[in-house]
Chain A
Amino acid sequence: MASTTLHETEVDAAAPVAHIEHDTNTGISNTKVAMWLFLASDCLLFGGLITTFLLYKYPLCGQGPGPRDMICNGELVKGVFDIPFTSVTSFCLLASSLTMVLAVSAIERGDHHRLRIWLGATAALGAVFISGQVYEFTAFYREGLGFTTSRFSSAFYTLTGFHGIHVTVGIIMLLSMLMWSFRGKLPEHKSETVEIAGLYWHFVDVVWIVIFAVVYLIP
C-alpha cells in the first residue's frame, strides 16, 4: 500500500496541475488555512507576553537597571536600551519582509534564480537580526541584567527570547527551502510552500513591529 502511494504520488506530481485551489470548499489550500489559524492563535501568545512585559516594565529599586534611565531613591540608574542599535536590527528584519515577498513573487513567475537570491537574502537579514539580539543580550548581561535580576529582566528576556526563537525557526524554514530549491525540489507549482513559509516570516516581522514600538520606543 505504501509503495503504491509513493509511486503514484511521483507520477502524479510529474504532471503538475495547480489544482490545490479547486480541491477544497473554500478554494484555499488546507495548509494555508492552517497557517493562518496558527498565526491567529500566536497573536494571543505574543499578546500575553507583551502584557506581562508592560506590567513589569520597571524593576524594583536595587534590582539592577531598567530599560531607560530612572531615578531610584534619589539616584540615577542608567537604562540598558540602545535604541539606535536596535533600530538598525529592526530595520533588517523589516527589510527581510521585502526580500521574502520578492522570493514568493519570483517563484510564482518561475524565476528560480531570483527565488534563491531572495530566499538567501531573507535568511541572511534574519540572521543579522538574531546576531543583533545575541549581541544585545550579552551587552545587557554585562551591564548587570541577568535573566533573574528583576521582574523587568525576566519579562524582557522572555518576550524577546520567544520572538528570537520564532525568527530562528523561520530561518531554518528558509534555509530548508533554499536547499530544496537547489536540489530542484521546489518547482513553481509548489510555490505555495514558499508563500506559506513567507506568511510565517512576515508574522514574525509584524510581531517585532509591535515589540519595537511598545517595548523599545515607548519610554
Chain B
Amino acid sequence: MAVTESRPLALPSGGGPSGPGAAPTLGVFTRPRTKTGWRSWVSTVDHKKIGIMYGAAAFFFFMIGGFEALLIRTQLWAPRQQILSAEAYNQVYTMHGTTMVFLVVMPIGAAFANFLMPLQIGARDVAFPRINAFSFWSFLFGGIFLNTSWLLGGGADGGWFNYAPNNGVIFSPTRGIDFWNLGLMITGIASLTGAINLITTVINMRAPGMTLMRMPIFTWMTLVTQFLLLFAIPVLTVAQVLLMFDRLFGANFFDVQDGANPLLWENLFWVFGHPEVYLMILPAFGIVSELLPVYSRKPIFGYTFIVFSGIAIGFMGWGVWAHHMFVSGIGPISVTVFSLTTMFIAVPTGVKILNWTATMVGGKLKFDTPMLFSIGLITMFTIGGLSGVTHSIAPADTQQTDTYYIVAHFHYVLFGGAFLGFMGGFYFWWPKAFGYMLNETLGKVNFWLMLIGFNLTFGPMHILGLQGMARRTYTYDPNFGFDLWNKVATIGSYTLASSVLLFIFNIFYSKKKAKEMPPPGPDPWDARTIEWMIDSPAPEWNFDPPPTVTRVDEFWYRKYADTPDHRLVRIAKTEDVVQHSDGKGVHLPSPSYWPIITAFGLPIIAYGMIFTLWLALVGGIIVVTGLYGWAFEPPDDDEAPHGDDHGPDSETGAGEHAELEAAPAGDGELVSAGGGGQPEVETVG
C-alpha cells in the first residue's frame, strides 16, 4: 500500500488515521495489512499484482498444456504406437485444447489487460478492485478444479468443444466432461466479472484528457475483447447449463432419442466459440500495435483504422460461427451465408496487417526481442489467416475439416498469432512489472528457437491435413504416407518446448544478473505510452499525480516533437518528463480476504455437484459467507473513489494537475522546455 500507518492521509474531509494498532476485527479476520509475503498476494486487490498472478498461473497451466502437447506429439512420432491408448489420447488432446484456450491464452490476455490497461489510462486501479481479485481466484480455482479430473477418473474426452451427443453420459460415461463443464463455468464467472470490471474501468476511470480516441491501442483492444467476453460467456454458460442438467440430472437437451437436436449444442458452442477466438487474438493485436511504433520510432500507421478494424472484427466475429459447422448439415443457404460472412471478416484483419507493415515502412527499426516477436506475429498470423480464408470456401472446407489442416490453421493463429504476441509483450513490459530487463541475447535465441520450432511443428500439418490425416485420431497406419511429416512435427514440438524452457531460464538468469546492472529506469525502451512515465517496477499507486493527456502517445510527445519537415526533435530529457513519486497521500483500496474465500466456495460447489450434493451445500455456505463478509467489510472506496486528493478522474483537477507536475505537461510548455538542451535531431520517414 502506498499509505503506511505512520503517515497521515490527505483527505478533504480531514479524516486522520487512528494509529496502527486500531485495526478493527471484522468477523474472524483482521483486515489484511501486509505488503510482502504470501498474505499480501492472497489478499491483494492491486491490479498489477493480480495481473502478475494471472500471468504466473497461466504460465503454470501452459506447462501442463505443453506437457500434454508433447504427449500427443510423442504418440504420433511413428505409426501404430501405443504410448497412449485411444482413450487416454482422447483425454489428452481434449485437456490440451481446453487448457490452452481457457487457462492459458485467455488468462494471459487478462494478465496484460489487468496489469497494463489501468496504467495506460492513468487510473489508480480498476473500478472494482475486490471483484478483480475475485475474478482471478475463480479463474485459478476453476483451472485447478478442471485439472483435478486427471486424478478423479480421467479428463474430458470430447475435444475442446465437446460436441453433442458425444458429450452425453452414454458416450462419455466418465466424470471428465462434468469436470470440464463445471470447471469452465467457474472460469466463465471469472471472465464475466472481469469483463464487467475492465469495461467499467475503461469507460469511467481514464486520466484527465484521456479521451477514447487518445487511448493506447492495447487499451482499445482490451475494451473490444472484454465486450466480446461480456456477450460470449453467457452463451457458453447456457450450453453448459443444459449439458450439466443432461449429465447430472437426466434432462433431455442433447439426447437424440428424446427428440433433442445435437446441433443446438454446436450452435451455442460456436456462437460463443468464434467470438472466443477473436478475443484470444485481439489482446495480442493490441500488444504488437504498441510494440511496433516503439521499435520503428514512428507513430502507428492509421491509429483510427486500427481501432475501428478492431471494433469491426469484434462485431463481425458474431456473424460467422456456423463456418465451424459446414459439414454438420445446416443446409445450403446457411452454408452460403456463413461462407460469405467468413470471407468478409478477413478484411478488417487484413487492414490491421497492412497498418502494421506500414508502421514499419520507413521507420528506424530496432530489432530487439519484442520487435522480433511482433514481426513473428505478423508473418505467422498472416499464414494462419490465409489458411482461414481457405476454410471459408465451404467446398474446400468439406475436405479440410477435421483434418490436420485445421490444426495447422488454428495453431498459426493462436500460437503464431496470440502467443508470439504475448511473448513480445513479456519481453517488453517485463521491466515495468519486475524492475529488471530480460537478457537480450537469450531473448533473441529464444525467439528464433521458438519460431523454428513452431514452424517445424505446425507447418507440416498443412501437408498432413491435405493428405487426409484426421484430427483427434490416436494413431495412423504405416502405409498412409504420414510418417515423415509427423516425425518433423514431433521434432519441432520438442524444439518449441526447449524455447519455452529457455524463456524460463532467462527469467531467472536475468534476475540474477540484474543485481549487477543499473536498474532499467522508468523508460528503458524509449517508449511512447504513459505507463513508461512511472518507475519500474510500477509503484503501487501508479501515477501520482495522474498525467494530463493531450494526445495519442502522450509520453513520446513530451520527449519529442515533430518538426514541420517531419523530423523528430528531442525536446526534453526523459529524466525530466518521468515522475518519481513517493505516493504520499495517495489513497488506495485496502486488501481483502473475502474475494479468495468467496471464490474458494465455487469449486467446492462443483465437486459437490459431481460427487455428493452435501458438499455443494458446504460450498454454497462458503460462497454466501464470503459474500456476506465482503458486503459488510468497510467499503473502502472501491465503488466510489473519493477522498483522494489526486482523484484520477476529477475533471476539474486537470488544470491543477498540470501545475503540480514537475515536468512540463501542456503542449505549449513542451516546446519551450526543449530550449534547455541541445535538440537531438532524428530523421524519421
A residues whose Cβ falls under 8 Å from a Cβ of B: 1-12, 15, 19-20, 22-26, 28-31, 33-34, 37-38, 40-42, 44-45, 48-49, 52, 55-56, 59-60, 63, 147-148, 150-151, 153-155, 158, 162
Contacts and interface: CB of A to CB of B under 8 A. Distances in A.
| Prevailing SS type, chain A contact patch | helix
B251 interface: yes
A49 B295 CA distance: 49
Contacts of B640: 20, 23, 29-31
Contacts of A147: 245, 249-251
A4 B197 CA distance: 26
- Chain B CB within 10 A, most for which of A4, A33, A42: A4
B31 interface: yes
B468 interface: no
Contacts of B203: 24-26, 33
Contact of B204 (A5, A25, A48, A60): A25
B9 interface: yes
Given A45-B237, A158-B242, 10 more contacts: A2-B30, A4-B18, A5-B587, A9-B636, A10-B15, A12-B642, A29-B640, A33-B199, A44-B231, A151-B253
B213 interface: no
Contacts of A37: 195-196, 199-200, 230
A47 to B, nearest CB: 8
Given A2-B23, A34-B196, A151 B258 contact: yes
Given A1-B4, A52-B253, A8 B11 contact: yes
Nearest to B197: A34
Contacts of B199: 33, 37
- Chain A CB within 10 A, most for which of B4, B128, B241, B259: B259
A45 B235 CA distance: 6
B479 interface: no
Contacts of A56: 252-253, 259-260
Interface in B183-235: 192, 195-197, 199-200, 203-206, 230-235
A150 B255 CA distance: 10
A6 B258 contact: no
Interface stretch (B47-55, B59-67, B444-452, B644-652): B644-652
B1 interface: yes
Interface in B132-191: none
Given A3-B19, A37-B196, A154 B252 contact: yes
26 contacts: A2-B33, A3-B17, A3-B24, A4-B16, A4-B18, A7-B22, A8-B9, A8-B16, A11-B13, A22-B651, A23-B649, A33-B204, A37-B199, A41-B195, A44-B232, A44-B235, A49-B238, A52-B242, A52-B253, A59-B259, A60-B259, A147-B249, A148-B250, A148-B252, A151-B260, A162-B241
A151 B238 contact: no
Given A1-B4, A8-B11, A33-B203, A41 B590 contact: no
Interface residues of B, number: 75
Contacts of A26: 203-204
A145 B50 CA distance: 48
Given A3-B22, A7-B17, A45-B238, A24 B249 contact: no
Given A9-B637, A59-B259, A151-B260, A158 B241 contact: yes
A5 B192 contact: no
- Chain B CB within 10 A, most for which of A10, A28, A34, A151: A34
B13 A22 contact: no
Contacts of B643: 8-9, 12
B5 interface: yes
Nearest to B238: A48
Given A29-B640, A38-B196, A60 B258 contact: yes
B590 A1 contact: yes
A81 B181 CA distance: 32
B329 interface: no
Interface in B237-281: 237-239, 241-242, 245-246, 249-253, 258-261, 264, 268
- Chain B CB within 10 A, most for which of A31, A41, A63, A155: A41
B71 to A, nearest CB: 35
Contacts of B14: 11
B650 A22 contact: yes
Given A23-B640, A52-B238, A158-B241, A2 B590 contact: yes
B207 to A, nearest CB: 9
A200 to B, nearest CB: 13
Contacts of A40: 230-231
A30 B11 CA distance: 21
A2 B32 contact: yes
Contacts of A30: 127-128, 200, 204-205, 639-640
Given A1-B33, A2-B24, A40-B231, A9 B4 contact: no
A55 B253 CA distance: 10
Contacts of A49: 238
A37 B230 CA distance: 8
A12 B12 CA distance: 8
Contacts of B20: 3
Nearest to B237: A45
A143 B443 CA distance: 70
A24 B245 contact: no
A31 B203 CA distance: 12
Contacts of A41: 192, 195-196, 230-231, 233-234
B13 A63 contact: no
- Chain B CB within 10 A, most for which of A23, A31, A147: A23
A6 B633 CA distance: 9
Contacts of A19: 642
A41 B238 CA distance: 12
Contacts of A33: 127, 199-200, 203-204
B22 to A, nearest CB: 4
Contacts of B192: 41
B322 to A, nearest CB: 15
A161 B636 CA distance: 36
Contacts of A2: 23-24, 30-33, 590, 634
B3 interface: yes
- Chain B CB within 10 A, most for which of A6, A12, A22, A52: A6
A38 B200 CA distance: 11
Nearest to B253: A154
